[in-house]
C-alpha cells in the first residue's frame, strides 16, 4: 500500500531534502523515524528537492508498506516524537498505487521573504537585505518573466534536466508590512536554483542597478553566467504543492 505524508520543516540544519553523502538531509531524517516506528526499512520519495537551508511550509512525500497502517492521531504523534523539532508531520493518508509524490504533482508554489530590519528571532528564516527596493520595477520584471517559458539563465549550470521550460502561473512581489517584502511564484516545475537566482537578479533591478531591457536579455541569453547572484537559501519557502483532487481525497 502507498501512503502520502504531508509535512513541514525548517531547513536551516539540513543539507537539503535529498539524502546526502556528506550531511544530514530531511529525507534521511524522516526515513530514520519511519523505519524505527514501523520496524522495517522505509524509503520516502518527496515532491521535489529543496536546497540546503531552504524551508517548507508544505511538503509531500510517499512511501510503500506491505500492510495497511492504523492511522490514528497517536500513531502520527509517536512519529513526531521521534523526529527533531524542526520537522513536523501533519498527516499521513492512503493513496492509489499509481499516485506519486513527485510525478503526480501539477504545481509548486514558493515564497521568498526579504526584510530590511534585523530580527534576532528570524535570522535564519528571512533574508536581511538593507538597501531600499523599488517594488514597482521588480513587478514590471515579473511581467516580463511571465512572457517566457525557458529559464535556463536562472538554472544552476550542473542541472541534469532534459529541458529548461517551466510554465509560470504567477510571479509578483508584495509588501507584507513596511519592512518586509515577499516574492510569490508558482509554476508546474522549477529548475535547480531557479527561484533564488530570479530573486537575486530582481534585487539588482529593485536597486536600479539593472534595467528591464537588461533583465529580458538575460532571459533570452539562456546562460546562467549572465544572471545575478543567487539570493541566500534562508529566505526561501516551499509553501504549496498542487495535486489533482483524486490524489488528496483521503487527506484529513
Of 159 and 58, more confident: 58
Task: List Cα–Cα distances, 239 to 8, 30, 44, 48, in angstroms.
Answer: 9, 19, 20, 12
In whole angstroms, give the CA distance from residue 100 to residue 110.
20
% of the chain surpassing 70 pLDDT: 99
Q: How many other CB atoms are there within 10 angstroms of residue 177's CB atom?
A: 9
Task: Decide if pLDDT at 37 tops 80.
Answer: yes
Indicate if 107-239 has the same CATH topology as 2-104: yes
* pLDDT tier at 21, thresholds 50, 70, 90: confident
- Diameter of the chain by CA atoms? 59
The answer on whether 110 is annotated among ligand-binding residues is yes
The CATH number of domain 107-239 is 3.30.70.660: yes
Q: Are 11 and 55 in contact (CB under 8 A)?
A: yes
Backbone CA torsion sign across 157, 159, 15, 189: positive
Mean pLDDT, to the nearest integer, of 168-182? 93
Catalytic annotation on 51? yes
Q: What integer best gives the mean pLDDT of the chain?
A: 95
CATH number belonging to domain 2-104: 3.30.70.580
Task: Decide if pLDDT at 22 tops 90.
Answer: no
Which position among 51, 134, 169, 213 bears the catalytic label?
Answer: 51
Please state the domain extents for the chain. Answer: 2-104, 107-239
* pLDDT tier at 159, thresholds 50, 70, 90: low
* pLDDT tier at 26, thresholds 50, 70, 90: very high
Mean pLDDT, to the nearest integer, of 73-79? 96
Amino acid at each position: 500500500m502507498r501512503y502520502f505524508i504531508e509535512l513541514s520543516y525548517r531547513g536551516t540544519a539540513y543539507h537539503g531534502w535529498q539524502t546526502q553523502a556528506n550531511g544530514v538531509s530531511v529525507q534521511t531524517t524522516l526515513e530514520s523515524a519511519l523505519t524505527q516506528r514501523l520496524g522495517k526499512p522505509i524509503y520516502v520519495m518527496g515532491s521535489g528537492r529543496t536546497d540546503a537551508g531552504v524551508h517548507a511550509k508544505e511538503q509531500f512525500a510517499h512511501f510503500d508498506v506491505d500492510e495497511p497502517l492504523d492511522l490514528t492521531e497517536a500513531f502520527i504523534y509517536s512519529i513526531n516524537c521521534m523526529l527533531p523539532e524542526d520537522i513536523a508531520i501533519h498527516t499521513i493518508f492512503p493513496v492509489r498505487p499509481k499516485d506519486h509524490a513527485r510525478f503526480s504533482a501539477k504545481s509548486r508554489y514558493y515564497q521568498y521573504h526579504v526584510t530590511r530590519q534585523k530580527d534576532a528571532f528570524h535570522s535564519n528564516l528571512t533574508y536581511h537585505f538593507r538597501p531600499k527596493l523599488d517594488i514597482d520595477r521588480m513587478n514590471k520584471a515579473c511581467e516580463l518573466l511571465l512572457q517566457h517559458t525557458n529559464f535556463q539563465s536562472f538554472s544552476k549550470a550542473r542541472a541534469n534536466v532534459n529541458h529548461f521550460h517551466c510554465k509560470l502561473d504567477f510571479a509578483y512581489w508584495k509588501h507584507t508590512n513596511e519592512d518586509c517584502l515577499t516574492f510569490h511564484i508558482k509554476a508546474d516545475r522549477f529548475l535547480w536554483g531557479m527561484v533564488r537566482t530570479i530573486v537575486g537578479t530582481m534585487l539588482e533591478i529593485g536597486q536600479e542597478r539593472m534595467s528591464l531591457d537588461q533583465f529580458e536579455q538575460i532571459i533570452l541569453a539562456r546562460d546562467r553566467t549572465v544572471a545575478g547572484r543567487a539570493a541566500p537559501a534562508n529566505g526561501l519557502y516551499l509553501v504549496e504543492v498542487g495535486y489533482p483532487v483524486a490524489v488528496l481525497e483521503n487527506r484529513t
